[in-house]
Structure 1
Amino acid sequence: MPRTRSLTALATALVTTCVLATACTGPSGSAAADDPKADVTLNFWHGWSAPGEVAAIEENIARFQAAHPNIKVKVTGNMTDDKINQALRAGGDKAPDVVSSFTTDSVGKFCNSGAFTDLGPFLAKSGIDATKVFPRTLLDYTRFDGNQCTLPLLHDAYGLVYNKDAFREAGITEPPGTWSRFVEVARQLTKPSGDSYERVGIMPTFHGYETTPMRLAAQWSPTYFTPDGRANLAGDPAFARMLSAQKDLVDKLGGYGRLERFRATFGDEWSAEHPFHQGKVAMQIDGEWRPGMAQEAGVTFEIGTAPLPVPDDQAADYGKGYLSGTVVGMARGSKKQNAAWELVKYMTTDTDAVVAFANAIHNVPSTLAALDSPKLQVTPEFKTFLDIARHPRSSTTPAQADGGTYQLTFTDFAYAVEKGEVTDIAAGLARTDRQIDADIAKAK
């Protein structure tokens, strides 16, 4: 299962992330002078909470301990970034040595603040060339300003999950590859019912679970920042084009108010009451976990998967998508960093460990070797997301010193656009750029 968060939860995590390295961690000194072969106990904190996920991470740790009998690992789960940051500030023996976080948007702050150690020297010491181990996009979201303060631990690829039975009923023979065809299919699959719906082809509003501005913008291949680090939302036409296309889709499916009233009837994203499971939506923007969750919920229709559509003038790039994932870092204040590195290295670069964990929690592997491993369990539905993960034009949102605050600012503006509160998108994006630049300058 992925680790998506509500904007409120993300904002809380960003606010509590440390700004000054000394405030977070205390002196690092000779923290990497420990003997990794000595008997030691590491504190490892992670965010998984579902029983199957917790069991999977504990099995992974057990395999590590069998290979490193001198290193014991005390595992603490269901830890948010808020709790992690508080513990890092407090320090002491109970603070984590190794941390797994679902908040890739916080990587810029983790690196900029010094909360996590730069893993570059550890990679070099182990003779590991990260560019030959991890896909490029994953390296992009695990480092900031030359600081590789985290490494990828599995990842998520976003695409289209759809109801094949509904497609056949409507005479649609294949998933839409371009945006114009996507709009046609969404309208064709929508079944109005009075002032509401029996079913929508897609829930296009940005409050609709995984349908975020960032996920859609990735299909336009945008550039968020200029080479000198300035916000580029007004400068790159991709953002205005995406927002205009999404607003047009909202209008063609009945308008913001009507769609939002229908969305209010939806169940929890992680429950059997998800609207895709119940047939209330025919197409869902989602990740590799959704087909399995739908099958576990007992859906009676056939499920298909495909990449998200691309703008008509980028048809050659069909197959790309937005990538995100889980990251692992080492606390800068830890006095057991060499031992901690052994754990991080194992979890993130050992092919069998990565594949076993990916199989257990149905996420996309995070190394090039694991993606091609014959041990990886691949269904036709899952293969779609593996292909998205491998696509050279797949992308992510860049790390920044303010963490994901700039994404929250962009999202707030996108909400206003889809509601019809903004008519001059270009001027609004310029104002958004100014706010983003001010927030980043403050964070630095």
Structure 2
Amino acid sequence: MMKKRLFASFAVVAMVAGSLVAASSASQAASRTVVVWSPYQGGNLDLWNAAIKRIETANPGLSVTSVGNIDMAKSLAAINAGNGPDISVSNGNGNLGWFCGTGAWQKLNTLIAGPNGINMSATFNAAAVASSISNHVRCALPLYSEVFAFYFNKDLLAKAGFTNPPKTTNELLAYSQKLTTFNSDGSIKTAGFLPWAGYYGYDMDSMWLGQMFGAKWYGGNQAAAFASDPRWTKAFTWQHDFIAKVFGGGNFDKGSKLLVKFVAARGGEWGADHDFMTGRVAMKWDANWMGPMFCDPDGWAMVDLAKCPSKLNFGIAGFPVSAENSAAYGSGVVGQGQMGISKGSKNVKDAWIVLKGLATDTKLNAAWDSANGSPSSLLAKAARPSTSADWYLPIYDITSNPKSAYHVVKNTGEHLEESMLQNLMASWQAGDTANIKSALSDLAKKVDQIVVRNN
């Protein structure tokens, strides 16, 4: 369930691409067989294959060969080596640039607009419609959603006198000042909120920070916007001030050093000793699939809040937003799993039938959500489970919010713009970067150079 990141080397995976046992699309050209590779295993693969069976039943003569446990790196290497499947799956939005930018997946514009096409905006939520495009090319159809939202401990907020979660970045700072406590030696005992790269966060803290301020990753000229969009400077300046005011009594260096120690002593990420569960932190950014763990750290079950074994009384909301980004309140960062048709497919017509069928199968989407806590990208009500835990319902609101989005994706390799921005945030919060405007300008230039090199 954890967010997949593509760390495998192309040099290594290219060696194994030719040895994959699944049949290539070229060898199946004479028949109506479509080969589908996915990373799924176990119960998820069973759900996937059941949907494929429904497609075969609805299309007599069409045969689909489904091969699971094939990760993105192997799929991409095999496609580029000419031995790939007709259809493959990318876990997470950040890797779409590789599949689109390298041409590994075909453009879908003509198929989408054709007689057996899809009205994208009437079928998928706004985030999903936007997320399947890279470099102005729609090369994918979205699958399930991955939602990053704002979690808060209701009991701790109530004890501090707050009945609702913070809606603005100013309120978030004020709440945190009241919720943060210190030990007798001056060290941090409990924290309201930590805008801190590396505090859990899956290396996505900087993305979430930008979302709160409505900062754009690329401009109208398609160049990196870290320097041209002033909201990035505002976001990082806010982080600096937050650390100083909440943790350092107005002194940034003091607050930063205290946070380094506090973060180093955090509880484990995957269990009941997580800081949010122990009350060490009252509010945090996190993924939709962490909700079941906060509710049931042993079983990660989608259970009703009243029956949560952990007894943690928590809520979920959209990210707090800056004053100039107030229209975006209720939103979060929302990305999708993606799938596309390989450039080497010799059976594009049938591959499209399968691709469209998988993307729009409401039964698959509802079952997937029930099993994994991953909301559908489809607008249809039938794509949601028949029942949902009350505490989980805000996730659906965030998913469908028109301001929820994943940032524009370009071919930067292993979504390097994300890791580079995260590294800058870490350097800035540690006091190692003195001029954030200059640093953001340097980052923009480096990202532009990578995009040019890769395209």
What is the root-mean-square deviation of aligned Cα atoms in Å?
3.0
Distance 1:173 1:355 in 2: 33
Distance 2:116 2:29 in 1: 16
1:84 aligns with 2:56: no
In the alignment, residue 103 of structure 2 is paired with which amino acid?
A: G
Tell me how far 1:195 sits from its aligned partner: 5.5
Distance 2:428 2:384 in 1: 46
Which moved further from structure 2: 406-415 or 55-64? Answer: 55-64
1:389 aligns with 2:399: yes
TM superposition score normalised by structure 1 = 0.85
Look up the match of 2:190.
199
Tell me how far 1:56 sits from its aligned partner: 4.1
Secondary structure in 1 aligned to 2:138?
A: coil
From the superposition, tell whether residues 360 and 153 of structure 1 become closer, same or farther in structure 2 (CA, over 3 Å). Answer: same
* Equivalent residue for 2:239, pick from 242, 246, 249: 246
In the alignment, residue 220 of structure 1 is paired with which amino acid?
A: F
From the superposition, tell whether residues 146 and 376 of structure 1 become closer, same or farther in structure 2 (CA, over 3 Å). Answer: farther
Distance 1:148 1:379 in 2: 35
Secondary structure in 2 aligned to 1:277?
A: helix
* Equivalent residue for 1:317, pick from 318, 328, 336: 328
* Equivalent residue for 2:387, pick from 377, 388, 391: 377
* Equivalent residue for 2:431, pick from 420, 425, 442: 420
Distance 1:13 1:131 in 2: 36
Secondary structure in 2 aligned to 1:202?
A: coil
Contact 1:104-1:326 at 8 Å conserved across structures: yes
Look up the match of 1:167.
157
Look up the match of 2:85.
96
Distance 1:265 1:181 in 2: 27
| Structure 1: unaligned runs, 5 residues or longer | 19-29
1:141-187, CA deviations, whole angstroms, 9 ceiling, x for partnerless residues? 21123422111101122221111121222222110111111112123
Distance 1:17 1:391 in 2: 38
In the alignment, residue 109 of structure 1 is paired with which amino acid?
A: W
Tell me how far 1:388 sits from its aligned partner: 1.7
Distance 1:374 1:80 in 2: 27
From the superposition, tell whether residues 187 and 54 of structure 1 become closer, same or farther in structure 2 (CA, over 3 Å). Answer: farther
Look up the match of 1:209.
200
- The within-5 A match list for 1:333-348 is 333-348=344-359
Contact 1:31-1:337 at 8 Å conserved across structures: no
Percent identical pairs in the alignment equals 24
Distance 2:294 2:435 in 1: 40
1:365 aligns with 2:372: no
Secondary structure in 1 aligned to 2:151?
A: strand
- The within-5 A match list for 1:237-316 is 237-251=230-244, 252-254=246-248, 255-297=255-297, 298-316=309-327
* Equivalent residue for 2:442, pick from 428, 431, 437: 431
Distance 1:416 1:214 in 2: 15
Tell me how far 1:373 sits from its aligned partner: 5.4
In the alignment, residue 65 of structure 2 is paired with which amino acid?
A: V
In the alignment, residue 287 of structure 2 is paired with which amino acid?
A: G
* Equivalent residue for 2:216, pick from 208, 219, 223: 223
Distance 2:446 2:65 in 1: 43
From the superposition, tell whether residues 316 and 90 of structure 1 become closer, same or farther in structure 2 (CA, over 3 Å). Answer: closer
Contact 2:28-2:34 at 8 Å conserved across structures: no
Distance 2:99 2:371 in 1: 28
Tell me how far 1:398 sits from its aligned partner: 0.4
Tell me how far 1:119 sits from its aligned partner: 2.2
Look up the match of 1:184.
174
Secondary structure in 1 aligned to 2:452?
A: helix
* Equivalent residue for 1:351, pick from 340, 353, 362: 362
Which moved further from structure 2: 171-180 or 183-192? Answer: 183-192
1:212-233, CA deviations, whole angstroms, 9 ceiling, x for partnerless residues? 1111211211222222222221
1:89-143, CA deviations, whole angstroms, 9 ceiling, x for partnerless residues? 3443xx4332221231221221121111222233224132223212233222211
* Equivalent residue for 1:233, pick from 216, 226, 230: 226
Secondary structure in 2 aligned to 1:266?
A: coil
From the superposition, tell whether residues 41 and 312 of structure 1 become closer, same or farther in structure 2 (CA, over 3 Å). Answer: closer
Tell me how far 1:426 sits from its aligned partner: 1.3
| Structure 2: unaligned runs, 5 residues or longer | 15-24, 249-254, 298-308
Look up the match of 1:4.
3
1:376-435, CA deviations, whole angstroms, 9 ceiling, x for partnerless residues? 533333221222222222232102132522222222222211111122211211111211
Look up the match of 1:126.
116
Distance 2:453 2:51 in 1: 40
Distance 2:353 2:91 in 1: 21
Contact 2:218-2:225 at 8 Å conserved across structures: yes
Distance 1:233 1:87 in 2: 34
